[in-house]
Amino acid sequence: MPEEIKKLVQKYQEGKISRREFILKAVAITGSLAAANAILGPLLSSPLHAAQVDPNDPVLNSANVQYPGKAGPVFGYLSRPKGLGKHPAIIVISDSAGLVDHFRDVARRYAKEGYLALVPDVLSRHGGTAKANPKGTGLGNIGELAPLDAVSDYVDAGFTYLKSLPEVRGDRLGLTGFCWGGGMAFGSATRVRGLRALVIYYGESPEPLDLVKDIEAPVLAHYAEKDPRITNGVPATEQAMKKYNKSYTYKIFPGAQHAFFHDGRPDRYHPEAAKEAWTRTLEFFKTHLKA
């Protein structure tokens, strides 16, 4: 085993670096995710993807759930703080990979901050992510999931489900989405009533742009410099939001690529941009959902 790998393993075992840092450094040393996995797999107690919040975190209740949708049951993952009291709730719309571990982890991160977070399985109509996308690489026919389906199954029905839970503050509802899910969240916000805050991660804007006139919630958006298909549309989006006097705050992160927040993708993950975007997200949700 190369000396660099040995030193890295020692640092991890001594608790000097996190699992996520360990994984990213291992990929940098070996040159590829596959090579890192092959060399380091036996040394780790779990697969290469590193959760930031343990699925069994003792202060959270996290589990798969199911709720009624327009065309049948919708599968999902819900994470919430343990204990008494009511909390704001956030729906997280995933990218085209569906309900994979990364988005379960994102839900738990929100729960650690005092929110109930629901990730609807956007592949529910295809039988669920485990059936439609078993390798977690994405679904080629994600375009078959029309925006109206997303609104009815994953947002409208999702918020109805959340508001039925006794620990949810029904007047403090947030929505966020990533990539394909970012576009779905942005579009959904033009139709969903009662939304208090919307956060977009490199998602397409509503089409036509004049639909933004119906958005009730303030919008925070995160974009990547090296993502021209999405980012080139930001000036027009900003103009439309100003035209209708809507709150729209955004940042284009220098050097970042599409999916820069996804720490399960070392080829795209940008630690600095992801950290700043998450900090901005938490401050935004705190202002609009906890005040």
Residue with tokens 């991660």: 201
**105, 227, 262, 270: which one is catalytic?**
227
Q: 179 catalytic, yes or no?
A: yes
Burial environment of residue 233 by CB neighbours within 10 A (0 to 12, 13 to 18, 19 or more): middle
Q: 258 catalytic, yes or no?
A: yes
From CA 288, how far away is CA 189, in angstroms rounded? 15
H runs (alpha helix) in 14-146:
19-30, 33-40, 101-112, 129-132
**179, 222, 262, 270: which one is catalytic?**
179
Peptide bond into 208 cis (omega under 30): yes
Helix, strand, coil shares of the chain, percent, nearest 5, are 40, 25, 35
Q: 222 catalytic, yes or no?
A: no
Written as six digits, the tokens of 269 are 């993950």
**222, 258, 262, 270: which one is catalytic?**
258
85: left (phi over 0), alpha (psi -120 to 50) or beta: left
Active site residues: 179, 227, 258
